[in-house]
Amino acid sequence: MKRPRTTASARDGYVIFAVLIVIVVLSLVAYRYTDAMSSEYQAAVRANDATQARLAAISGLYYAAAVLSDRLTFYNELGGNPYDNPDIFELFEIPVPGPNGTTRMAYFSIQCATVNDEGSSVQRYGVIDEGGKININSMIALDPKGERLREALMKLPNMTAAIADAIVDWVDADDEPRAEGAESSYYLSLPNPYKAKNGPLNSLDELLLVQGVTPELLYGGDRNRNGLMDEGEENASRGWSDYLTVYGREINVDINGNPRIYLNGDNLQTLYSDLEAAVGAELATYVVAHKLFGSQPVSTNTSGKVTTVAVGPEQLYQVVQERIAATGSSGRRIRSVAELIGTQIRLPRPPGYPKDAPDPVVYSPLNTPEGLAELFPRLLDATTVRQAIEMTPRININSAPMEVLMAIPGISDLEVAGILAGRPNQDPTSPATTTGAWLVTSGLMDPSRFRRLERYITGTSMVYRVQAIGFLEKGGPVARFEAILDTNQGAPRFLQIRDLSDLDHPRGFQPPIVPNRR
């Protein structure tokens, strides 16, 4: 019996082939899914790293705020020098959560690009002093007509008369254009019309709305603002933003943050008591006597005849107390404590005083070099001739670059050279430095010159530009943030915060080398 023949189905091979295709497709889908998930994971890791770098940079801003606003830290750990201090600002580490429950380090560094006393751009570990710049709002407040502001602007590099006039027109109160300036009538004629501000600026970028002001003039050719000539930059020129500001604040307090003694108050007995505690009994008595009796410059007697006789501080104190008890007068107004230098007071002749006897006089304790060096800074720091707590911000002569010093109204080239040469030798924690009194005690200026410049100059600041660089260990993204900080008497506040990370093409500031951790 023959076995029946069987024939294979022609479709069996196609089934196998279809199964193989399905397997390949599923494998490809699985591969694509795995690859996509790996990419998503890498993107998530990268985003997480970028976020941690950003938060590290923001932490740097808050760290700087804490350091700069605390007086003990500022004068002790910082030594009064926040501008070039790698010990405090170079590197700070923060532990952050890593993958799989691990911990790794994020870092921040406080860096800046600034102009040194030789006019060169340098990178430093520190902050920029906004008080060391020409404050446009302050200048127009001190002189509403804008002449002082225009004179200051004309001292800046690449400034023209037309642009200086236009800037003054932009911030002055009237709507009348200066000789080469522009007011609302010009700006309203533009394709996208707008009006002139005719008031204080809120940010420096507002100057880009002013006729003739360009980003290149305002910020220079240094596109990533790091003070260096980088690839892709035609030049590393500095812009006016290095010399101009709209941020500033000055409070009428002494080096310890205490309100200053108002010299032109009504109660002379209270004034004496406050001055005695601040500068000693002898100078306190002389200040009150100056208000009661007035003073004159010490003159040289060439006649040979004895016309005056010096009396001691005890006798002066007695005369002062008797006059206060008798009249209760608030006395003459003091316009500057520098007016006490090089003076003498002729005391009233008591009843029965011989007519041919020389007049009793007392000499200012500030007349001797020793008295001037010791007492004038203390008096300038402890007292004020203005009752207002909030003052019009002045220029910090201890941090201002040469271009800004040259723009101080009435200052001479010789005085600017003297400031640049003398300020590295000053103690940043001394009242002589923080008040600018060292200009007089060093002999750079006489008291009359100091009095003329006093409304424009100071020796301290409370508003800073802080730039923080945030990064992670073993590389990765780098973040760069900038803030304008008002130290605000120990309660710091940020006036502006901006992310500058997009400027880092190429990278403006390299993160410092992280030491190996054990």
Reported pTM: 0.89
Asked if residues 99 and 366 have their Cβ atoms less than 8 Å apart, the reply is: no
Residue 7 CB contacts under 8 Å (≥ 6 apart), including other chains: none
Per-position DSSP letters for 388-436, written without gaps between them: -SEE---EETTT--HHHHHTSTT--HHHHHHHHHHGGGS-TTSHHHHHS
| DSSP bridge pairs for 494 | 485
Longest dimension (CA), the chain: 172
Cα 88 to its chain centre, rounded Å, is: 18
Segment (H or E) for 308: strand 308-310
pLDDT at 4: 56
Q: Tell me, what's the pLDDT at 298?
A: 87
The phi, psi pair for 341, rounded to 5°, reads: -80, 135
In angstroms, the CA 434 to CA 351 distance is 46
Q: Cα separation of 496 and 493, whole Å?
A: 9
Residue 473 confidence (pLDDT) = 85
440 neighbors 376 (Cβ within 8 angstroms):
yes
Nearest to 224 by CA among 507, 516, 453: 507
CA distance 306 to 308: 6
| H helix intervals, 280-346 | 281-293, 313-327
Paired residues of 43 in beta bridges? none
Half-sphere exposure of 446 (CA within 13 A, CB side): 2
State the first-to-last Cα distance of the chain, in angstroms, to the nearest integer. 90
Q: Which segments within 116-178 are labelled E, that is strand?
A: 121-124, 128-129, 134-135
Q: What is the pLDDT of residue 90?
A: 95
Which residue(s) pair with 107 in the sheet?
93, 471
Consecutive 10-residue runs of the chain (518 residues): their mean pLDDT? 54 74 85 80 80 94 96 94 95 84 90 81 93 97 96 95 97 95 96 96 96 94 81 80 95 96 93 96 95 86 59 87 81 93 88 76 94 96 95 96 95 96 94 97 96 96 96 89 96 95 85 73
Q: How far apart, in whole angstroms, are the C-alpha atoms of residue 472 and residue 107?
A: 6
* Separation CA 495–CA 486 (nearest Å): 7
What single DSSP character describes residue 204? G
The closest of 110, 129, 68, 125 to 400, measured between CA atoms, is: 129
How far, in Å, CA of 86 to CA of 94, rounded? 18
Residue that has been written with the tokens 């790698």 in this structure: 86
Contact between residue 137 and residue 201 where contact means Cβ atoms under 8 Å apart: yes
Q: Can you tell me which residue has the tokens 């700087």?
A: 64
Q: State whether residue 16 is helix, strand or coil.
A: helix
* 211 closest CA partner among 194, 235, 231, 186: 186
User: In the chain, where are the structural domains located?
Assistant: 261-384
Is the separation of the CB atoms in 36 and 441 below 8 Å?
no
Distance of alpha carbon 50 from the chain centroid: 30
Q: Which two tokens stand for residue 81?
A: 């020098």
What DSSP element (H or E) covers 170? helix 161-171
Beta bridge partners of 253: 259
- What is the enclosing helix (H) or strand (E) of 55? helix 12-69
Report d(CA 129, CA 461) in Å as an integer. 7
Contact, 438 vs 422, CB < 8 A?
yes
Alpha carbons 55 and 78: distance in angstroms, whole number:
24
Q: How far apart are CA 325 and CA 268, in angstroms?
A: 10
Question: What does the pLDDT read at residue 302?
Answer: 44
pLDDT at 264: 94
